[in-house]
Structure 1
Amino acid sequence: MTPVSTTGSGARHRGWWRRVGWAHLVYLGIPAFQPAFDPAPERWEWGLYGVIVLLTVPLYLVPWLRPDRALWGSMVPMTVLGALTVPFNTGAGVLFVYTAATAGISEPRRVAVRWFIGLTLLLGTLTTLSTVPMPWRLWGVVPSVLFVWIIGFTQVEHAERERDATELRLRLARIEHLATVAERERMARELHDLLGHSLTAVIMHAQLVRQLVEVDPERARSVAGDVEGTARHALSEVRSAVGGWRHATVDGELESARDALSSAGVRLTVERDSGLKLVASTEHELALVLREAVTNVVRHSGARTCHVGLRAERGELRMTISDDGVGGRFREGNGMAGIRERVTAVGGELRRRSSSGTTLTVTLPLEVAV
């Protein structure tokens, strides 16, 4: 008997008359029963019925068109109108049902129940003051009392479902926003991991070309070809990453590491357990750790040798990347911070030790790694 929803873009763009539940006004026929079935109705009884209809219709429209004004624009004045007319026409108790329905959908449950109680007590009081003889008096009031509670609670339940649905939509929107932010951060880390290593290799090769172009042109051309190959490989990886197809492997990263370290004059040694098969997600994370670690060796260490170890021991998978460079204090940048987040997310641990050279150690539970 009241609007279920009067907000939203769709509703605002329709004509107001299409947003109103006109069918519920049929219940205004109930107050007509008294003069209609009275063997000798007074003229004022039909006049009172006309006043009830003329005043109720605009009050009924308020919650549909201006839900924010339901209390003082509809509920209170309709209750007053009912209180003034029920003593002379008990069918006007339907006005209290309209009020209960509006309270049920526009007020919190606790407030709505207080309205139901108040309307019930008011109807009972007005019944004792009514000029309508028994039993006609009760036939008009008792159904109104019942429907105050039945329709009122129906509206309360409906309103709570609507509020829950709205809250759920808001939560889903927040989750979608957070997921979008997280995906952007993940893509930023991916691109950093991809391009940081490749661009470092390109810089090292370019510096070597500049040194060799006059003293050894043939080798300079060869290194320039390596620059082109590295750049093309980086472009391919970026395209694959953007398309969601890229999957880094330890073997692939070891080959790239060997080339990058060789260009920087660093010798690479590898010690790996034979037959060690890694699950794809774990291998991807380890490959990115290896890529960032090798990039740091090339950029910062000043090392002559670099050692990579990958083995399973005591229920753990352990990967170490060590060099004989300068070591010392180290400021963790975006790449290592991103790698630490990746390793932690799969239940692993990342440690760094720097004294004579630098050793980076990644440990993962064996059950999630193989």
Structure 2
Amino acid sequence: MPAARRPARDWMSLGWLLFLAYPVAGFVLQPRTLAEGVWFWGVLLAFVALYVASQWRRGGDDAAWALAGYAGGLLAFAAVFPLLGAAATSFLIYGSFLVGNQPHRARALGFSGLSALLLLGLMFWYLPRWSGEPWAWAVPTGWALASVYMLFSTYGMHLGWRAREAGRQLRLAQAEKERLAADAERERIARDLHDLLGHTLSVIVLKSELASRLAERDPARAAGEIREVERISREALSEVRAAVRGYRGSGLGAELARAKVALDAAGVRLTVTAPLSSLPPETEASAAMLLREAVTNVVRHARASAVQVSLTSGPGGHTLTIQDDGLGGQAPEGTGLNSMRERLRAAGGTLERDGRQGTRLVAHFPAVDSPHPAPGREAAL
């Protein structure tokens, strides 16, 4: 999965720069001197640099950047207004747009209101100059509408900031929840291993020491102690195997249920295209591990909206396909997928990844004779 790719919002933010066509047109449609050209294009490029930096940054104080964007728009307006007149209004609108990208709604609307009042004041100041012109009504009307639009754009940008912040907080909470769940699982495993093996290993050590001391004085009793050590060791091995089977989960069906919970929390739709086939235990454990790794990657990296899972079986083995509609790409695989690929290769299977349209994982598991096949199950997702 790609680890570093700019979200669509970053690229969409560049689209708003198209509205700079108004001041550009206002400048190039009139004859200008060289000094005026250097001044205008310098101001324009400086504002564009500030705008891109504020939209594409990662981290930093949102309120500080919002005020910097507002100040940049205001200064650009003041710098080019003598050259452009009404066409310079775009910079005020940009400033009002940028100042809304912060947590303080009242502050953002206050600064935007100052820009609106400034524009209305200029409108009334220049109104006598336009009287008598056939277009006299158009410019004041446009400036008045721009003043209202600035307030709406500020509020809309603030709502967007709140939505992004809520999403960020949700992701942090989900990550914390996963971390706490992992810590709890580690503590459970440590506790189980202590309960299973702590006392048993202590008994084995004591009996082994006793058998060592009795080896020369009472060989028969020493042999009995060694047989007891063997019996206790076999019981401990059985208990450990039973515990490991419990750690491996309840198979592919249970893993699908956990995957649905995780994907639902991330806003991703899970679809299982057909009833699940019965699988041998070892194959089912590997398929469940691959599904878990794939879902983890989708939630963390893919930015997908849907995931499709299918499992088919035939004489040659079983094929598990996991397809998402996310970013895709051919970035280097992480440790999880590399481990699964090695695991499948060791068992005679294969794992293929295609990142051209989202990400598609196709795992082929070779046919394995199983004396106790799992019963068939219907996907209820």
Work out which of the two has the higher radius of gyration on C-alpha atoms and give 1 or 2.
Answer: 1
Task: Give yes or no for contact 1:63–1:74 (8 Å, CA) kept in 2.
Answer: yes
> How far, CA to CA, are the matches of 1:90 and 1:44 in structure 2?
17
Match of residue 118, structure 1, among 114, 117, 130: 114
Give 1:96 shift.
1.2
CA distance in 2, matches of 1:218, 1:35: 108
Distance (Å, rounded) in 1 between the aligned partners of 2:27 and 2:45? 20
Amino acid at match of 1:63: Y
* Equivalent AA in structure 1 for residue 122 of structure 2: L
Partners in 2 of 1:63 and 1:241 — Cα distance? 58
Alignment TM-score, normalising by the size of structure 2: 0.51
Task: Indicate the SS of the match to 1:10.
Answer: coil
- The equivalent residue for 1:260 is none
Q: CA deviation at 1:29?
A: 3.0
Q: For residues 18 and 158 of structure 2, what CA distance do their matches in structure 1 show?
A: 22
Deviation at 1:112, TM superposition (A): 1.4
Q: After superposition, give the CA deviation of every residue in 1:76-124 in whole Å (9 maximum; x if it has no partner).
A: 1320332455576223222111111111124632321222211111112
Q: Distance in 1 between matches of 2:27 and 2:217?
A: 118
Question: What CA deviation, in whole Å up to 9, does each residue of 1:289-308 have, x standing for no partner?
Answer: xxxxxxxxxxxxxxxxxxxx
Structure 1 residues 84 and 135: alpha-carbon distance in aligned structure 2, compared to 1, 3 A threshold: farther
1:217 aligns with 2:219: yes
Instruction: Report the equivalent of 1:81.
Output: 76
Establish whether residue 27 from structure 1 lines up as the match of residue 27 from structure 2. Answer: no
d(CA) in 1 for partners of 2:196, 2:248: 10
Could you say which residue in structure 2 is the equivalent of 1:130? 126
Report the Cα distance in structure 2 between the residues aligned to 1:94 and 1:49, rounded to whole angstroms: 18
Which of 93, 99, 104 is the equivalent residue of 1:97? 93
Inter-partner Cα distance in structure 1 for 2:227 and 2:139: 103
* Residue 59 in structure 1 maps to residue 47 in structure 2: yes
> What one-letter code is carried by the residue in structure 2 that aligns with 1:170?
L
Equivalent positions of 1:237-276 (< 5 A) are 237-244=239-246
In the alignment, what sits opposite 1:198?
Answer: 200
Runs of 4+ in 1 over 6 A off after TM superposition: 32-36, 47-50
CA distance in 2, matches of 1:219, 1:73: 87
Q: How many residues align?
A: 231
Q: What is the SS of the residue equivalent to 1:105?
A: coil
**Which residue of 156, 159, 170 corresponds with 2:158?**
156
- Alignment partner, residue 292 of structure 2: none
Determine helix, strand or coil for the equivalent of 2:172.
helix
Q: In structure 2, do the counterparts of structure 1 residues 85 and 130 end up closer, same or farther at CA, with 3 Å as the change threshold?
A: farther
2:70–2:98 Cα contact (<8 Å) kept: yes
Return closer, same or farther for 1:210/1:27 CA change in 2, 3 Å cut-off: closer
Distance change in 2, residues 1:53/1:97 (3 Å): farther
Q: CA deviation at 1:205?
A: 2.8
Residue identity over aligned pairs, in percent, reads 25
In the TM superposition, what whole-angstrom CA distance separates every residue of 1:6-30 from its partner, at most 9, and x where no partner exists? xx94349xxxxx9584432322233
Matching residue of 1:146: 148
Distance 2:158 2:170 in 1: 18
Larger relative contact order (C-alpha < 8 A, sep ≥ 6)? 2
8 Å Cα contact 2:123/2:143 also seen in 1: yes
Structure 2 residues without counterparts, runs of 5 or longer: 131-135, 250-381
Distance in structure 1 (CA, Å) of the matches to 2:11 and 2:165: 19
Once the two structures are TM-superposed, the CA of residue 210 in structure 1 deviates from its matched residue by 4.3
Could you say what the CA RMSD is over the residues aligned between the two structures, in angstroms? 3.8
| SS of aligned partner of 1:168 | helix
Alpha-carbon offset, residue 33 of structure 1: 7.4
